[in-house]
Amino acid sequence: MNYNSLENIKENSTFYQFLEIEQDSHYEKVRFFERNEQRISDMDFDFRIYVWCDYALSVFEIGRYQEFIKLSDELIPLVVEENVYEVRGISIYEALLFRKGASLFNIHQYSEAEYVFGELCKIEKDPINKKAWKKAKYRLLKSSVRYLEAFSVLFFIGTAAIIALELLVVVNYYPEYSELIELFRLSTFGIGISILLGIEVFIKIRTNQHYNLLTRKRQ
């Protein structure tokens, strides 16, 4: 962008007003954009796309995730086509893509979030991308074994029932069965815990396997 041309400064004065807003003043940037949308749309393309991208990042930061997803769907192809690399020192393509994945995750669209973060992992093995992808994958795998968690809950409920039976009946009337009941109680509790631990181990192993496959495709 040619910042030094007096003519450009006059024609795109809204751009320079926008730049005066502090980088972290996201609400202010969003308000400014939405109050001056027509003037921004009249600016030269280079100035307009810069403001539009920065506005979109602020929309994400204030938690308007559905709106950001729509903005990112418009902006991501545009920044690729027009070779827009940075906005306020941020690599804008990766920033938009990451925030799109985070927005999808925040509205519980875990499958779509996993895909977006997976594309980022293919671009660059950044620890943040890896962590985000694994978080989305964890939620997906967790939902796929939800029925096993229900089984563990049943065993815990069974353990509670056995404790009640032991205290109210066995201790008072059938003390000779106390050891047997205690063994049964410990068994049901142990099975419930084992199911929960098994779920976590399974998810961790499967997540690592899928991540290795994902990044292998990148090479």
Domain boundaries, the chain: 6-107, 144-218
**pLDDT for the residue numbered 216:** 78
Return the closest-CA partner of residue 96 out of 74, 118, 122: 74
DSSP E strand stretches across 134-209: none
Token pair listed for 204: 């961790």
Query: Tokens 């992992």, residue?
Result: 121
72-95 tens-digit pLDDT? 999 999 999 999 999 888 999 999
Please tell me the distance from the alpha carbon of residue 100 to that of residue 106, in angstroms, as a whole number: 10
Helix or strand or coil: residue 73?
Answer: helix
Task: Write out residues in the chain with pLDDT < 70, as ranges.
Answer: 1-11, 217-219
**pLDDT for the residue numbered 52:** 96
Please tell me the distance from the alpha carbon of residue 134 to that of residue 98, in angstroms, as a whole number: 14
Please tell me the distance from the alpha carbon of residue 18 to that of residue 52, in angstroms, as a whole number: 11
- Stated as kind and residue range, the H or E segment containing 90 is strand 90-91
Phi, psi angles (nearest 5°) of residue 43: -75, 165
15-33 tens-digit pLDDT? 989 999 999 999 999 999 9
**pLDDT for the residue numbered 20:** 93
If one counts every other C-beta atom within 10 angstroms of the C-beta of residue 110, the result is 19
**pLDDT for the residue numbered 123:** 86
139-157 tens-digit pLDDT? 999 999 989 999 999 999 9
